[in-house]
Structure 1
Amino acid sequence: MAKDFATMEDSNRSGNPSIHEVSALRRRTLLGGGLASAVGGLLAPLAAASLPGCASGTGMPSGPLLGFKSVPIGTADRIVVPEGYVAQVIAPWGDPVGLSGENPAFKEDGSNTAAEQEAQFGMHHDGIHFYAQEGSRQGLLVMNHEYTDDGLLHADGMKTWTAEKVRKSQAAHGVSVVEVAQKADGQWEVVRPSPWARRITARTPMAFGGPAAGHALLRTAADPAGMRPLGTLNNCGSGITPWGTYLTCEENFINYFKGPDTPNAHETRWGLRKGEPAGYRWSEHDERFDASKHPNEPNRFGWIVEIDPFNFSSTPVKRTALGRAAHEGATVAVTKDGRAVVYSGEDSRFEYIYKFVSRDKIRPGGARENAELLDHGTLYVARFNADGSGQWLPLTHGQGPLTAANGFADAGEVMVKTRQASDLLGATKMDRPEWIAVGKDGAVYCTLTNNSNRGGNGQPGVDAANPRANNSMGNIIRWKETGDFDGARFQWDHFILAGDPANERADAKGSVKGDMFACPDGLWADHRGVLWVQTDMSTSAMGKGDLARMGNNAMLAADPRTGEIRRFLVGPSGCEITGATMAPDGKTLFINIQHPGESPSERSDPAEPRKFSNWPEHRAAGRPRSATVVIRKADGGVVGT
């Protein structure tokens, strides 16, 4: 999600060290120093790593991973892919998802009703996954809809404000489940109607599972038992489980709540501010978003939600054992003995990276057999040490400082107050940790998008130990667990520092071997071991300062063995590239284009909806629409080769 740096949430006032204060000894990167130097030093375990289940070595192909010709940096209002590739747009915001008997068409003037939006694709597509049903030619696409641009969503934007507009905005959030199929000519289409088609919104009934279910901090007047939350919102990154479910992550939920005149310490730690939040006015017509009247309602968001896409009538469950945070994504690995490990970060300045290890093993079968697997286990937060080592600190009630005397009455309160618990444990403050990917080399990679606030608001400033005085470009950090994915310790280094080699500012040059980029966000490892990197430069900063030569946001491919990076795709004006998934045969890649045409203020002027973009249709009376893009090789080969 692109964010206005001036209003981005920044609430961590703990004295914990930031990643930059412990990075001085780890400035050597794989890409800058070359693979040989890495193998000879600390990262030898990384180079020799293999995922459980790999036959030998790294499990990666021995030949070249990247076989396409890079595309140039661009600023056009279109999608650009490499020579020999074709890109097709499907599933734009406002098209019907295929509910039985409900196919409301998108109205270009923004006049669709809230009821119609509930049957249409939501706005601002983000995380996505393809669940194959018949080989690689048919299956379910499940995707997140992170937030709304109410300047585009309504005919007159927010000039008037009604309960109907609030309901429409809430309906444009959440998740879409749709059936897609490949036709004989290679093109893909949304199947309508479909028995699996479903919209999950900010008003969909849900359930709580895990240690915080029913906790006093989750109880409200509408739900005195604290077991039945209503809706999910700000759904950013996603994850998939080996048992076939979808994990959607509630990110910057605090932006939707009106705060009390004097927020308490708990509310302040979660970024709640006095008065109406910037961007949304839901509380005016939906009282539960007024935290001064319903102080526990914000506690009911910030969770990872599990959805069974193959069961239309199933209830989404907020899994509280995975902790409460501004979750960006949820990446699942499996230990050698068959337990689930879920990695997640939260996209806020100076927040943390987490790991959950399930108590029980994954059972054969699907969602029903593993319905409570993510409700029992141990949540950890990461500490990165200056010598390149790291450790996972357990957020376990009664251990260390996590006691009643310090404000944690029970295990449920630790989960609701995950940030405060991590503060006390001394976790490392990161620069907006976003997507996490587990590579075929056994390493775990995490994008740190940027942080322009070092030294402000009481945060760490520039000093000799700080590797980048102003991390405008972002970087990708990686680590290798000691032993298995459930290991208590790890070794870490910077995989790459993003940047522009021609930049006059040393801290913005980076260590890119290949095509330059900035602000990495989306991250995904495919079945061959390619690491796909998607960028999210804020529209308020694009084309300016350190980002002057970066063009539009892009998607790149990295070979973890050599460090080579090639630019695979450039998006249309004002967009973010996000979400990535492939059909099992690797011949179809699905990605999402989010908020094309976003203005620097991040809200469109309803009088000029096409001012910055008119992608994808470019119709005379149209408006920009987030959409899914399907990418294939024209010769039918594997994407990326």
Structure 2
Amino acid sequence: MTLTDRPARRLLPLLPMTGHTTGKRSAVTCHLKCADACFHPVPNTSENDYFRDIAAIALSRRSLLIGAGVGAAAIVVGGQVTDVPSAAAAQSSTLPFTPITPVPASVDAVTVPQGYQWAPLIRWGDPLFSKKDVFSPEAQTAELQARQFGYNNDYLDIIEVPWLGLLGVLVANHEYTNEGIMFPPAADEAQADEQRRIAMAAHGMSVVQLYRTGRSKAWKYKVGAKLNRRITVATEFEFTGPAAGSPLLRTKDDRSGTRVLGTLGNCAGGTTPWGTVLSGEENFNGYFRTAGTSDAEKRYGLGNAPTARGWEKIEPRFDATNPGYENEPNRFGWVVEVDPLAPNEPPVKHTMLGRLKHEGANVIIGKTGHVAAYTGDDERFDYLYKFVSKEKYDPRPRLNARWHNKRLLREGSLYVARFTGDSPSGEITGTGNLPADGAFDGSGEWIPLVVDGESRVPGFAVDEVLVHTRLAADAVGATKMDRCEDVQPNPKTGRIYVACTNNSDRGKPGKEGATEANPRNANRDGHVLEIVEAGDDATATRFAWNILLLCGDPKTNPSAYFAGFPAEKVSPISCPDNLAFDSEGTLWISTDGAPGTIGYGDGLFKVPLEGPERGRVQQFLSVPREAETCGPVIKDEDGMVFVAVQHPGEDGAWGDQHSYFPDYVAPNQLTGDGKWGGPRPSVVQVWRS
């Protein structure tokens, strides 16, 4: 029987989100990526509604903005103090392009601007350690997959290694798998179990050594390079911070509560000033079966039902109803730190940054030398968090300094955000129409959860705050947000940008309605917030904020807002997900869900933040059918852009593939050069012709 002779199969006979998704949003994506989160009740049932009712914060918005400075400001970036030009000093772009016309969601192609070309840098199944580890969907094994590039690459970075010449490393997350299009139908339960093991090996992270022949030349990866590494569900991690060793983290396999096997649900991330990579464990709840009876289990969306992938059938730790494994779910939902230049060093999970559905984490150095790490909880009506280190960053170029900096996220203070608007509540109508002062803006505070190792939440011990962070944040009255995804500090200005992807439940009966920081009911298109820390100091506990973008297609959504830039002159954008900056401090946004809201494929967009162009959204590229744009990396000095293309052809089946990206050969055919006629999530590089 040939590959094309095999019958098509559905992953499941009926997916919970079938018929409930918006537009062309995939029910398969909802099921596999986030365990049908929107089908289930919102986990946050707290009564927090502080946004309109809380007493005004003593530090006014005006004083915050004055403290932030209007002209040049001293921002600590990478341990160095640099002068930031005033907001009026716009610079010419080093990556010029004419915005592309929005691409229909049905198009199975990567579309880039005129004068640019693209190619895959690395694909699912490409070998990392030996050219003998040949990719073949029909001949995959768990052992092979653990030696190949993983599936559904999300966050990525290209880290140059200056002292090694024209070398670098690519670090990528592998968030989840879609077995229905990865493999032919299993012949029996034994083969189904092997496919589960392969899928487990396809999760996690990859570190890949790169090389190029000159600046502005395309990168290539080297099979068998010393820095190549796969991190999977079987890799041993070390817990750090105050909750390490807590009884809440102990299981029959790890009675110390200090070690755990694996990472999963890895979504976005960030590269630290000291050169390590942070990865956020996001939708971990979909991998575990639990009793589902405790408040903590319910708050994290854990329940007593078989999982989509059935890992509990081959590893008992994924069934937390098994005696001795009750705490196994507590060992996921953390920020992971990996040193890509130390392939033999165990990665760590930082308990000090709290346990939640981390989209990612990003670090900036404050004026005092302490570092701040920002992270969002990607759930409807959940919160925005900040960690501030106890120790200071050491900028000296010595090995002891790097060892010191790699420990900065182990001790410090954890905060959650509370936003206050400056407009009367009657002007926040839920329509997205601007209030009388012409902006959605206000002030805010970082509410302490743990300060220097001591709990600030009544009734919670430190380890309880860090393991059950959502419950602790409920208790102090944090502001419910519309799915905080990526949170990125601007390395040029120090301002913080928050992508709120969407929240179609806002304003529904029994759910919180519009607030000034989340001003649209049934928020399908999402928005982007801009935060200015008091005194431009990342370690401050007060901030000012405004909404930069209310996303949408201005032709069909009159509430779409682009920082005051004329709406008829922008590219339509929906569901902002990952954020990045180029060398000039210009914002770039990748999207996840645009097909279901505005009918176009997901893409990558450039947004100037200063001067008369502020808010002008310009589309740079579009990804193939049913794919999501992830992990943008902007190397504008080299004329290059990188994106991770995740879940192309997600709605297909083995005998009915919906995408043939990136190889575009005959359906389900494997050629002698390793190309395959089916979708392969890949890292794509784009460069000027």
**Superposed pair shares fold, TM > 0.5:** yes
What is the one-letter code of the residue matched to 1:17? D
Match of 1:127 in 2: 155
| Distance verdict in 2 for CA 1:154–1:263, change over 3 Å | farther
Asked if 1:116 corresponds to 2:148, the answer is no
Match of 2:607 among 549, 558, 564: 558
Match of 2:650 among 598, 601, 609: 598
The structural deviation recorded for 1:421 is 0.7
Match of 1:576 in 2: 628
The structural deviation recorded for 1:183 is 3.7
Q: Tell me if structure 2 keeps the 8 A contact 1:8–1:348.
A: no
Q: How does 1:73-222 map to 2 (within 5 A)?
A: 73-75=102-104, 76-97=107-128, 99=129, 101=130, 103-107=132-136, 109-134=137-162, 137-156=166-185, 160=189, 162-183=192-213, 186-222=217-253
Match of 2:576 in 1: 520
Task: State which drifts further: 237-246 or 1-10.
Answer: 1-10
Q: 2:233, 2:298 → 1: CA distance?
A: 24
Q: 2:515, 2:392 → 1: CA distance?
A: 46
Match of 2:551 in 1: 498
Q: How does 1:212-611 map to 2 (within 5 A)?
A: 212-260=243-291, 262-277=292-307, 279-293=308-322, 294-363=325-394, 364=396, 365=398, 367-387=402-422, 388-396=442-450, 402-403=457-458, 406=459, 408=460, 410-439=461-490, 440-456=492-508, 458-461=510-513, 467-483=519-535, 484-503=537-556, 506-507=558-559, 512=567, 514-537=570-593, 542=595, 546-548=597-599, 551-561=600-610, 562-583=614-635, 585-599=637-651, 604-608=652-656, 610=657
Q: Tell me if structure 1 keeps the 8 A contact 2:278–2:336.
A: yes
> Can you list the C-alpha shifts for 1:181-232, whole angstroms capped at 9, x where unaligned?
1246933311122000000011101110000000000000000000111100
Q: Tell me if structure 2 keeps the 8 A contact 1:557–1:566.
A: yes
The structural deviation recorded for 1:40 is 13
The structural deviation recorded for 1:175 is 0.5
Q: 1:230, 1:623 → 2: CA distance?
A: 31
Q: Tell me if structure 2 keeps the 8 A contact 1:9–1:348.
A: no
The structural deviation recorded for 1:372 is 2.1
What is the one-letter code of the residue matched to 1:288? R
Helix, strand or coil at the partner of 1:385: strand
Q: Tell me if structure 1 keeps the 8 A contact 2:504–2:521.
A: no
Q: 2:64, 2:534 → 1: CA distance?
A: 16
Helix, strand or coil at the partner of 2:588: strand
| Distance verdict in 2 for CA 1:105–1:302, change over 3 Å | same
The structural deviation recorded for 1:466 is 7.1
| Distance verdict in 2 for CA 1:58–1:501, change over 3 Å | same
Match of 1:12 in 2: 44
The structural deviation recorded for 1:242 is 1.2
Helix, strand or coil at the partner of 1:266: helix
Q: 1:527, 1:474 → 2: CA distance?
A: 26
Q: Tell me if structure 2 keeps the 8 A contact 1:497–1:510.
A: yes
Q: Tell me if structure 2 keeps the 8 A contact 1:470–1:507.
A: no
The structural deviation recorded for 1:8 is 6.5
> Can you list the C-alpha shifts for 1:502-528, whole angstroms capped at 9, x where unaligned?
11x545677756111100001011221
Q: 2:374, 2:514 → 1: CA distance?
A: 30
Q: 1:303, 1:570 → 2: CA distance?
A: 31
The structural deviation recorded for 1:473 is 0.5
Q: Tell me if structure 2 keeps the 8 A contact 1:475–1:498.
A: yes
Q: 2:288, 2:583 → 1: CA distance?
A: 40
Q: Tell me if structure 2 keeps the 8 A contact 1:111–1:154.
A: no
The structural deviation recorded for 1:5 is 6.2
Q: Tell me if structure 1 keeps the 8 A contact 2:495–2:533.
A: yes
Helix, strand or coil at the partner of 1:129: strand
| Distance verdict in 2 for CA 1:327–1:472, change over 3 Å | same
The structural deviation recorded for 1:495 is 0.7
| Distance verdict in 2 for CA 1:469–1:508, change over 3 Å | farther
| Distance verdict in 2 for CA 1:578–1:48, change over 3 Å | farther
Q: Tell me if structure 2 keeps the 8 A contact 1:179–1:197.
A: yes
> Can you list the C-alpha shifts for 1:391-440, whole angstroms capped at 9, x where unaligned?
0011127978723xx3x2x3122100111110011000110100112222
> Can you list the C-alpha shifts for 1:424-460, whole angstroms capped at 9, x where unaligned?
1100011010011222233110100000112458421
What is the one-letter code of the residue matched to 1:489? R
Q: Tell me if structure 2 keeps the 8 A contact 1:90–1:630.
A: yes
Q: 1:433, 1:46 → 2: CA distance?
A: 27
Q: 2:242, 2:266 → 1: CA distance?
A: 22
Q: 1:508, 1:58 → 2: CA distance?
A: 28
The structural deviation recorded for 1:64 is 3.1
Q: Tell me if structure 1 keeps the 8 A contact 2:380–2:503.
A: yes
| Distance verdict in 2 for CA 1:344–1:41, change over 3 Å | closer
Q: Tell me if structure 2 keeps the 8 A contact 1:156–1:607.
A: no
The structural deviation recorded for 1:368 is 2.3
| Distance verdict in 2 for CA 1:225–1:412, change over 3 Å | same
The structural deviation recorded for 1:348 is 0.9
Structure 2 unpaired stretches of 5+: 1-25, 31-35, 423-441, 670-676
Q: Tell me if structure 2 keeps the 8 A contact 1:110–1:153.
A: no
C-alpha RMSD of matched pairs (Å)? 2.9
What is the one-letter code of the residue matched to 2:464? E
Q: 2:513, 2:188 → 1: CA distance?
A: 41
| Distance verdict in 2 for CA 1:496–1:105, change over 3 Å | same
Q: Tell me if structure 1 keeps the 8 A contact 2:353–2:387.
A: yes
Q: Tell me if structure 2 keeps the 8 A contact 1:259–1:276.
A: no
> Can you list the C-alpha shifts for 1:6-31, whole angstroms capped at 9, x where unaligned?
43673011111287x689x9xxxxxx
Task: State which drifts further: 428-437 or 578-587.
Answer: 578-587
TM-score by length of 2: 0.81
What is the one-letter code of the residue matched to 1:117? Q
Q: Tell me if structure 2 keeps the 8 A contact 1:150–1:158.
A: no
| Distance verdict in 2 for CA 1:619–1:470, change over 3 Å | same
TM-score by length of 1: 0.87
What is the one-letter code of the residue matched to 1:498? C
Structure 1 unpaired stretches of 5+: 26-37, 635-641
Identity of aligned residues (%): 37
Q: 2:639, 2:484 → 1: CA distance?
A: 30
The structural deviation recorded for 1:155 is 2.0
Q: 1:582, 1:275 → 2: CA distance?
A: 42
Match of 2:8 in 1: none
Task: State which drifts further: 132-141 or 422-431.
Answer: 132-141
> Can you list the C-alpha shifts for 1:349-391, whole angstroms capped at 9, x where unaligned?
1111111000001223454233322111001100001220100
What is the one-letter code of the residue matched to 1:230? L
| Distance verdict in 2 for CA 1:222–1:623, change over 3 Å | same
Q: 1:9, 1:241 → 2: CA distance?
A: 36
| Distance verdict in 2 for CA 1:462–1:377, change over 3 Å | closer
